[in-house]
Chains A and B, each alone.
Chain A
Amino acid sequence: MSSSTKEIENLINQDYKQGFVTELEVETFPPGLDEEVIAKLSKIKNEPSFMLEYRLKAFRHWQTMKEPDWAQLNIEAIDYQSISYYSAPKKKGDGPQSLDEVDPELLETYKKLGIPLDEQERLAGVAVDAVFDSVSVATTFKGKLKDAGVIFCPISEALQEYPELVKKYLGTVVTETDNFFASLNAAVFTDGSFVYIPKGVRCPMELSTYFRINAANTGQFERTLIIADAGSHVSYLEGCTAPMRDENQLHAAVVELVIMDDAEIKYSTVQNWYPGDENGVGGIYNFVTKRAECRGHNAKVSWTQVETGSAITWKYPSCVLLGDNSTGEFYSVALTNNYQQADTGTKMIHIGKNTSSTIISKGISAGKAQNTYRGLVKVGKGAENARNFTQCDSLLVGDKCGAHTFPYIEVKQPSAQVEHEATTSKISEDQLFFCQQRGLSAEDAVSMIVNGFCKEVFKELPMEFAVEAQALLGISLEGSVG
């Protein structure tokens, strides 16, 4: 091993800084899943009756399904009966009406995570919905958003206040029978964010949801539904962390995006669930179904993700390009270290005419990690002049890790133009030497090269997130220079 290899390793092996546990009084269901649990869940949430039916339908279907095993992942069997499907901080009375009523312990937690929920303290205009285990604990800037006509609230609240709207869209992009984890989510999801941007409205600020798993032996199942009506625009950010524990915890989320004529959704994720320790013990199992449907003409959706956490990531944010001239984008940085495994990518389904899509995927694999890009580009018969460009690059740090690329390309339209490129390489000694010879330390050099490798993706992130992502990459890479 060259000296620079050690430097990279040092850079990669940094501690997980969000690994603390918050001591709170919580209400938790005993482990186990059956129809009764689902009924109880629905009742606690005081949901309209159609939701219970929807959940039970999903649950019944889920029972007939098998876990998918096609991914390049090594997963220990998950016992779905040993997980508790509901855990929430104990409420005082009817739940907080304003931030003043939120448990200070909770506010402290978010402060520690760098997410101040106190509106006065908030510098930039970002509205935050904070989801703690199974429930949303606070949503900021509600009033200001309401003035603009934007609905931004926990999905459980949306079910109370706008049941018709939720009913109209929920499960239309990702149906309750879509896949194993989506069905499970449909049956047991507890909270998440709901966003509705009315016609012609440009959301006055960035919306953000911060997911935090705190309780042990629970799973987090959140559901996000975003509807951008004709001519509207919204930028949405999502962040996640969890405490350090020796047990694996399950996170199975579903995100649905609906984009109408001329509307645009920009969805950014910085995923930093606890990845497990350096021996691969513990960590979050992250199984996420994310899909956007461009239903209108000229609709645009852009997924940007920075995946540094989770022991296992199974995630394929997809774009269904139904409307003519619609655009789908996918920018991804996936970093795996130690024993982390990631199988992630995207699906671009071209159905409308003149649809275009771009995929930029950067995978970085270090330690003993396995990092897989898996993607599908499908051009249907009617998708005249469809255009796709795909680039997926992998960077290997160390000789014990793996980087894999499994793209699927299916084209049924002659006027379509589809390009796919992929490369796999390591940080070359020459690059390192060049930087060091100009006075940079090996660690800085690697950090710089890796950041350069990811730049195409980072530039798509909103400002605050880009800074966070770069810092995160440095932390995750710490101690692995080579």
Chain B
Amino acid sequence: MSGLQNYKVDYQQILPDLPGQSLAWLQQIRSDAFSAFSDTGFPSLREEEWRYTNISAIEKKLFSPSTNVGSNEIDQAWLDDFCLKDAYTLVIINGRFSKAHSSLKGLPETVTILSMGDALQQKPELVEKYLSKAVANEEHSFVAFNSAWFSDGLFVHLPAQQVLDKPVQLIHLVTKADCLAVSRNILIVEDRAQAEVIETFVGDSNAYLTASVTEIFVENNADLTLYKMQNEGDKAYHFGGTYVKQAKHSRFKHHNFAFGSLLARNDVHTDLDVASECNLNGLYIGVKRQHIDNHTRIKHIQPHAISKEMYKGILNQRAKGVFQGLVFVAENAQKTDSAMNNRNLLLSNDAEADAKPQLEIYADDVKCAHGVTVGQLDEKSIFYLKSRAIDEETARNMLTFAFANEMVGKVDNKELHTMLLAQLLQRFSQKSVDEKWL
């Protein structure tokens, strides 16, 4: 039996356990998605958008969903390293919402923050209005896979003019071997509302698969900042898709930190309406045999929108980093202002960086630029530091740290900034980079 067949058979067994059984429209979405996925299987290298990322290992191995949060004790101290103190927290363990670990104390009544399972019970009309509206199953089969398989997720709805006092944090934790954790998140920020959301993916050292899709709707004049911390275990496979629809004059900021997992693929796609603005930042650090693929797509559909993008990668040992970015400017998207940048630092002989920054432009009055560099540390800078009595290793570490710290420095949330900085510092010896210097 082929790998794909295993998934199909397994699906029929787990289907009754997935949320939203009583909702006919959802069953329709699931069955459509399942047949779309069945037709093609997981994306292959032959697909242009997946040409640098081979995920055949996922298909060969059967990852199976968990029916409950699992009985494993969660080491609270370990989890605390990833949890913000001052936030509304929703925890998903092994693909299932864990009420015991979540905390939504003090949440304003007008705001909805629910697990997807609960949202499907309590506010099915609202979910129906938005589910599968920011991304179609045709995007690629991982999205279809997610639509069919998702077992829980985060649902956030902010009414118009609501400014959320604290950030919302979604902790996505996997503690079971061979677990398949599929979550579907929906974030809706209505007109002139403002929010900050943090998605954190963590896991233990087992092999498992996370497949998460987040659909985001930023309405007129609304403002959303989304942070993604991907700290999956070092045998984990991670797929994370963020698909955004931005209405007029909206702002969307995305900070994407990819540190963990064996193989990670990350999609960030956004569609821009009139005079909206998006800011995509990314930092990926790969060591050992890690493979990190970043795929971004910015569609300027209407005029006067602004998009700024900066992705930085540090690749060491046998790691492979991929950046595929597309800026699309539609015919009437005049006065578009767009800049896309990708910088890669290759630190070892076996590391690899692949980049594909693309521009597709159908309007003439636009300003579009993109740049890519792949290289190593500047010898002159190293020489300068050495001439100031700093040994070579320290000098290299300092420069590498500074390269990465630019992206961490863009994080406005203080608590998160401290957390990310600590994670970054961990990668350097105390001697080389001292926190006190900062």
Which A residues have a C-beta under 8 Å from some C-beta of B? Answer: 70, 72, 379, 381, 394, 396-426, 482
Closest to A376 in B: B356
Closest to A378 in B: B354
Does A418 contact B374, Cβ atoms closer than 8 Å? yes
Q: Which residues of B contact A400 (CB under 8 A)?
A: 331
Given A405-B370, A419-B372, CB of A413 within 8 Å of CB of B361:
no
Which of the segments B187-195, B345-353, B397-405 contacts the partner chain? B345-353
CB distance from B65 to the nearest CB of A (A): 36
Does A412 contact B364, Cβ atoms closer than 8 Å? no
Which B residues have a C-beta under 8 Å from some C-beta of A? Answer: 48, 331, 334, 344, 346-349, 351-376
Does B372 contact A407, Cβ atoms closer than 8 Å? yes
Closest to B360 in A: A404
Does B362 contact A425, Cβ atoms closer than 8 Å? no
CA distance A419 to B355 in the complex (A): 11
Which residue of A70, A416, A423 is within 8 Å of B374 (Cβ)?
A: A416
Given A403-B361, A425-B367, CB of A410 within 8 Å of CB of B354:
yes
Which residue of A408, A422, A425, A482 is within 8 Å of B366 (Cβ)?
A: A425
Does B360 contact A402, Cβ atoms closer than 8 Å? yes
Does A414 contact B373, Cβ atoms closer than 8 Å? no
Q: Which residues of A contact B347 (CB under 8 A)?
A: 414
CA distance A411 to B349 in the complex (A): 10
Q: Which residues of A contact B359 (CB under 8 A)?
A: 394, 403-405, 422, 424
Does B374 contact A409, Cβ atoms closer than 8 Å? yes
Given A396-B364, A418-B373, A426-B364, CB of A406 within 8 Å of CB of B352:
no
CA distance A256 to B187 in the complex (A): 56
Given A399-B334, A409-B372, A424-B369, CB of A414 within 8 Å of CB of B360:
no
Q: Which residues of A contact B48 (CB under 8 A)?
A: 70
Does B356 contact A414, Cβ atoms closer than 8 Å? no
Does B364 contact A398, Cβ atoms closer than 8 Å? yes
CA distance A407 to B358 in the complex (A): 6
CA distance A428 to B244 in the complex (A): 32
Q: Which residues of B contact A404 (CB under 8 A)?
A: 358-361
Given contacts A381-B349, A401-B364, 18 further A-B contacts (CB under 8 A): A396-B361, A398-B364, A400-B331, A405-B370, A406-B358, A407-B358, A408-B354, A408-B356, A411-B374, A414-B351, A414-B376, A416-B375, A417-B373, A418-B373, A420-B357, A420-B370, A424-B359, A424-B369
CA distance A394 to B327 in the complex (A): 14
Does B356 contact A409, Cβ atoms closer than 8 Å? yes
Q: Which residues of A contact B361 (CB under 8 A)?
A: 394, 396, 402-404, 424
CA distance A399 to B329 in the complex (A): 12
CA distance A24 to B309 in the complex (A): 60
CA distance A416 to B357 in the complex (A): 19
CB distance from B142 to the nearest CB of A (A): 22
Closest to B376 in A: A414
B-side binding surface: helix, strand, loop or mixed? strand
Does B346 contact A420, Cβ atoms closer than 8 Å? no
* Top 8 A-B residue pairs of the complex, sorted by shortest distance between their CB atoms: A396-B364, A414-B346, A420-B372, A405-B359, A409-B355, A418-B374, A417-B375, A424-B368
CB distance from B317 to the nearest CB of A (A): 11
CB distance from B210 to the nearest CB of A (A): 27
Closest to B373 in A: A419
Which residue of B348, B362, B369 is within 8 Å of A402 (Cβ)?
A: B362
CA distance A165 to B320 in the complex (A): 43
Closest to A402 in B: B362
Closest to B323 in A: A409
Does B357 contact A417, Cβ atoms closer than 8 Å? no
CB distance from A361 to the nearest CB of B (A): 12
Given A399-B365, A425-B366, A425-B367, CB of A411 within 8 Å of CB of B352:
yes
Does A407 contact B375, Cβ atoms closer than 8 Å? no
Q: Which residues of A contact B364 (CB under 8 A)?
A: 396-399, 401, 426, 482
Write 19 A-B pairs (CB below 8 A) sorted by A numbering: A379-B374, A394-B361, A396-B361, A397-B364, A399-B363, A401-B362, A401-B364, A404-B358, A405-B358, A405-B370, A410-B354, A412-B351, A413-B346, A415-B376, A417-B373, A417-B376, A420-B373, A423-B367, A425-B368
Q: Which residues of B contact A405 (CB under 8 A)?
A: 357-360, 370
CB distance from A416 to the nearest CB of B (A): 7
Closest to B316 in A: A414
Closest to A429 in B: B365
CA distance A380 to B355 in the complex (A): 15
Q: Which residues of B contact A399 (CB under 8 A)?
A: 331, 334, 363-365
CB distance from B327 to the nearest CB of A (A): 9
Q: Which residues of B contact A396 (CB under 8 A)?
A: 361, 363-364, 366
Q: Which residues of A contact B375 (CB under 8 A)?
A: 416-419
Does A426 contact B356, Cβ atoms closer than 8 Å? no
CB distance from A400 to the nearest CB of B (A): 8
Given A394-B361, A403-B359, A407-B358, CB of A422 within 8 Å of CB of B349:
no
Does B357 contact A407, Cβ atoms closer than 8 Å? yes
CB distance from A152 to the nearest CB of B (A): 41
Closest to B51 in A: A408
CB distance from A388 to the nearest CB of B (A): 9
Given A381-B349, A424-B359, CB of A417 within 8 Å of CB of B331:
no
Q: Which residues of B contact A397 (CB under 8 A)?
A: 364
CB distance from A386 to the nearest CB of B (A): 10
Query: Which of A70, A72, A396 counts the most chain B CB atoms within 10 A?
Result: A396
Q: Which residues of A contact B357 (CB under 8 A)?
A: 405, 407, 420, 422
Which residue of A72, A412, A422 is within 8 Å of B369 (Cβ)?
A: A422
CB distance from A337 to the nearest CB of B (A): 14
Q: Which residues of A contact B348 (CB under 8 A)?
A: 414
CA distance A188 to B97 in the complex (A): 66
Q: Which residues of A contact B370 (CB under 8 A)?
A: 405, 420-422
